[in-house]
Structure 1
Amino acid sequence: MEKKGKIIRVTTVPRSLGGLLQGQLKFMSQYYEVIGVSSKDENILDRVAKQEGIAVVPIQMTRKITPVQDLKAVYQLYKLFKKEKPDIVHSHTPKAGTLSMLAAKLAGVPNRLHTIAGLPLLEATGAKRLLLDTVEKATYACASMIYPNSFGLNDIILKNKYTSAKKLKVIANGSSNGIDTSHFDPSGYTKEDNDKLKQELDIAPDDFVFVFVGRFVKDKGINELITSFKQLNVEFEKSKLLLVGTYERELDPLLPETEREINENPNIIPVGWQNDVRPFFAISNALAFPSYREGFPNVVMQAGSMGLPSIVTDINGCNEIVSEGINGTIIPPKSSEILYQSMKKFISDPTYTNQLSLKARDMICERYEREFVWKSILEEYKKL
């Protein structure tokens, strides 16, 4: 097949390039020459190159505000764009968006696209919020199109006047990459598989397991989750909380009492970072995901595709994937009491929880199948 042009996709860290866009770069490389750009981490970046069948270029970018390093990265991106002359530069993640949109504008790239998958700045206040708002507006000004990955995020961007409606578009039903429902399929795990993992984690066959997957940070609602579970666990001894992920203490630390409870409560089971989260979904009964902010959370789609009902907060993305009383329940953010009540209902009313489970997978398959999202992005590229 003759390729129609060149696309450079940029993320701040290579884990996002290989995970957030898994499979998509390989799909697009059938139609375009694709180059991936992300920070240096030879092991991960080389793995992404092999996995996706694309060329990769390391350019160091930081997730924090680091003016000297940021200017250096802009210059390196500018040089790369001038050399490669791409038809499209498409960025993901906040810092990569700011740096690559500016560099692409300076380099005269005709199509400068940035996908918004969440706005960390929404939790900032005072001078920091003012600075982040300014940077956000500058990013959007340098881009030719902005793709919020949820309709709620689209509304937030307009409400904050970061850019005009004509520059915004939500592709398909939302999501940056959709989900491979054949990969996230509970039928891939036998009772024997599940029993073995439960035994390894000291989970009894009749325990009710809530699972959280993500970073252990304040913004993900972990403080509230631990507070709620502590209260629940006193009432329901057969409850377990499975935590899949890692701390980010330098960026968004948890309360000391939260960490202490995680370390000391035998019914809270932290299993660290996992390359494959499916076995942990397979042994769980429900997802608890009380995040303060999201773009379009993959975790909620993954859990649903694995047949799990979800407790999510009433924030963009989450409240689009979950429909109240159909495949989960939606609660206000930052309320450990309402989270506790919802978790209690899931345990104490098995008929209700089973009804939600029956709809969970079907809703994801119907709306967010990965190839449907990829083809929708491809059509957008072709229009450009």
Structure 2
Amino acid sequence: MKILYVTTISNTVNTFLIPHIKMLIEEGHEVHCAFNIVQEVNEELIKMGCKIHEIEFQRSPLRKENIKAYKKLKKLIQQEKYDLVHTHTPVASACVRLACKNFNNIKVIYTAHGFHFYKGAPIQNWLIYYPIEKWLSKYTDCLITINNEDYKIAKEKFKAKHVTMLEGVGIDSTKFTPQTLDKKIQLRKEYGYSEKDFILIFVGELNHNKHQDLLINIVSKLKSKIPNLKLFTSVALK
């Protein structure tokens, strides 16, 4: 089978999708990727023989560059004659489903990493993103959600041929080794922290929807009750 993975930016593939692509290639499938190269493409993709197509998607749906990106994507899909397109992230996924809606011989899978409309979201998110996702769902063969709220909306309101839910995007636990107590004490000493310090670690992209402001506000309130509280952050810049 010939498969195309599409994301708005390369970061998404680098972070989440390499194990998926590796599995498909090992099973004998031909896999291509299409995205805007913001972060350098992981060398593992090249070594596996995954063909990369640069398409200049922009994360803001209002950017005019997305029109050019859509046309480039549609031409690519027509030329390469893929059997399956697996798309991620809102802008890329909108373009994919528009490009494929008249191709009966192509199956489209859309993994939604979290809809922009949710309980408590700004009203403009519901006015913009909800109707677009609902309309495009009818051009989606399989819609994969990763939380219960999205699954319920997709199942009850959308028209995708099949809706399913996975609990998160998955993580390779073999890459992480639990540290011993002695090692933890050693690391605290190396970085100048005592055994009594209460350490929190936040890992995430530095942008508005990750709400680092909320994290900072909560920590400032907790400091009165936990004076030895320390917050570490590890962020990826856009």
CA deviations on 1:331-378 (whole Å, 9 max, x unpaired) are xxxxxxxxxxxxxxxxxxxxxxxxxxxxxxxxxxxxxxxxxxxxxxxx
1:186 counterpart = 2:178: yes
Does 2:41 match 1:45? yes
| Deviation sequence 1:26-59 (CA, Å, 0-9, x none) | 1111221011111134x62263533654111111
2:30 is matched with 33
Distance 1:21 1:67 in 2: 26
Q: 1:69 to 1:205 in 2, by over 3 A?
A: same
Within-5 A mapping of 1:113-262: 113-122=109-118, 123-126=121-124, 128-159=125-156, 161-163=157-159, 166-170=161-165, 173-176=166-169, 178-187=170-179, 191-192=182-183, 194-195=184-185, 197-199=187-189, 201-246=191-236
Which amino acid in 1 is paired with 2:222?
L
> C-alpha displacement at 1:156, in angstroms?
2.8
**Structure 1 residues 73 and 190, CA gap change in structure 2 (3 angstroms):** farther
Q: Once the two structures are superposed, what CA deviation does each residue of 1:245-280 show, in whole Å capped at 9, x if it has no partner?
A: 1566xxxxxxxxxxxxxxxxxxxxxxxxxxxxxxxx
Letter aligned with residue 198 of structure 1? R
Does the Cα contact within 8 Å between 2:18 and 2:45 map onto a contact in 1? Answer: no
Q: Structure 2: which amino acid aligns with 1:242?
A: F
Deviation at 1:110, TM superposition (A): 2.1
Equivalent-residue separation in structure 1 for 2:60 and 2:173 (angstroms): 34
Question: Structure 1 unaligned runs (5+)?
Answer: 249-384
- 1:350 matched residue in structure 2: none
Letter in 2 for 1:175: G
- Report the count of equivalent residues: 235
CA deviation map 1:271-312 (0-9, x unaligned): xxxxxxxxxxxxxxxxxxxxxxxxxxxxxxxxxxxxxxxxxx
Secondary structure of the residue aligned to 2:174 is: coil
Determine if the alignment matches structure 1 residue 88 to structure 2 residue 78. Answer: no
TM-score (normalised: structure 2): 0.86
- The percent identity for this pair of structures is 23
Amino acid at match of 2:9: V
Q: Find out whether 1:111 has 2:107 as its counterpart.
A: yes
C-alpha contact (below 8 Å) 2:116/2:129 kept by paired residues: no
CA distance in 2, matches of 1:205, 1:77: 54
Q: Does structure 2 retain, via aligned residues, the 8 Å contact 1:26–1:54?
A: no
Q: What's the counterpart of residue 50 of structure 2?
A: 54
Partner of 1:99: 95
Query: CA contact under 8 A between 1:105 and 1:112: conserved in structure 2?
Result: no
Q: Output the TM-score relative to the length of structure 1.
A: 0.55
Higher strand share: 2
The C-alpha deviation readout for 1:113-151, integer Å capped at 9, x for no partner, is 11111012332314x532222221233122222111234
Q: Take 1:81 and 1:191, find their aligned partners in 2: how far apart are those partners? A: 55
Give the aligned partner of residue 269 of structure 1: none
- Equivalent residue letter for 2:204: G
